[in-house]
Amino acid sequence: MTVASLQVPVIAIDGPTASGKGTVAHRVAQALGWEVLDSGALYRLTALAVQQQGIDPNDENAVAQAAYGLDVKFQGERVLLSGVDVADQIRHESVGNLASKIAAYVPLRLALLERQRAFQQAPGLVADGRDMGTVVFPEAPLKIFLVADVQARAKRRCKQLKEKGFSANLDDLLEDMRSRDLRDRTRANAPLVAAADAKTVDSSNLSIDETVKVVLDFWSGVGFRAV
Ligand code: DC
């Protein structure tokens, strides 16, 4: 247990793809004036680097090396990889699918562990991902497991992609999402699972505002004090 882990609070928001955790995490962080960690972006950035550098995606150690070597900066909406803004590129389904595949590799998860923990900076951090509450920030005073049914999530992702000018097909997205969910939930290492002390929030029928309020209400109830 580190000093940071006791003094700088973390709200961990884990859940399946397109459950709204990214938007909710940003909005909660904004409301509290905290930092935010989009851990999925680090897996996506590794996938993009693997594609760009022509690395064999089946070579677990080479993929982990690519992660150690990532030159990444998050600047508001911009995500810089070696100085180039790739925020839109990493949202592409092919990058997401490769990210989901390589996320099962133990060496890669280890390579990204300290990079993620370095985001725990005062006054606080909202971290979104799959294993924020179980592995990366197990001492987080608030852990949210955000779920939504797969139809609702596919519709949201479809809308998001179209808004960004990408073509999107609902049936293909549903199929992709089901297989990605299955892979994320059943992998041996750091699977997508609610921490024992997580609060499960189902956002299928909640607006973003309502979901943010649920999380902030939970946080008010925690009564966190740094030691
Ligand atoms: O949250 P996202 O869809 O951007 O994540 C992309 C992939 O990265 C996802 O399929 C699984 C993986 N991931 C992970 O294994 N652990 C995390 N903490 C975040 C993402």
DSSP per residue over 118-130, as a string? TT--TT-EEEEES
| pLDDT score of 1 more than 60 | no
Please indicate, yes or no, if residue 121 is contained in any of the structural domains: yes
44 CA from centroid of ligand 1 (Å): 7
Q: List, for residues 161-172, the tens digit of each pLDDT value.
A: 888 888 889 999
184 CA from centroid of ligand 1 (Å): 8
Q: List, for residues 161-219, the tens digit of each pLDDT value.
A: 888 888 889 999 999 889 888 888 898 888 899 999 999 999 999 999 999 999 999 99
CA distance 32 to 108: 31
Please indicate, yes or no, if residue 188 is contained in any of the structural domains: yes
Helix (H) or strand (E) holding 183: helix 170-186
Give, for ligand 1, the residue of 36, 43, 137 to mutate: max count of ligand atoms closer than 8 Å to Cβ: 43
* Burial (0-12, 13-18, 19+ Cβ within 10 Å), 202: middle
Please indicate, yes or no, if residue 116 is contained in any of the structural domains: yes
Number of domains within the chain: 1
pTM of full prediction above 0.85: yes
| pLDDT score of 141 more than 70 | yes
Cβ atoms of 206 and 25 closer than 8 Å: no
CA distance 122 to 169: 42
CATH of the domain at 178: 3.40.50.300
Please indicate, yes or no, if residue 226 is contained in any of the structural domains: no
Cβ contacts of 25 within 8 Å, gap of 6 or more? 11, 13, 36, 38, 126, 127, 128
Residue 6 banded pLDDT, cuts 50, 70, 90: low
Please indicate, yes or no, if residue 221 is contained in any of the structural domains: no
Please indicate, yes or no, if residue 128 is contained in any of the structural domains: yes
Please indicate, yes or no, if residue 61 is contained in any of the structural domains: yes
The boundaries of the domain holding residue 78 are 3-216
Please indicate, yes or no, if residue 99 is contained in any of the structural domains: yes
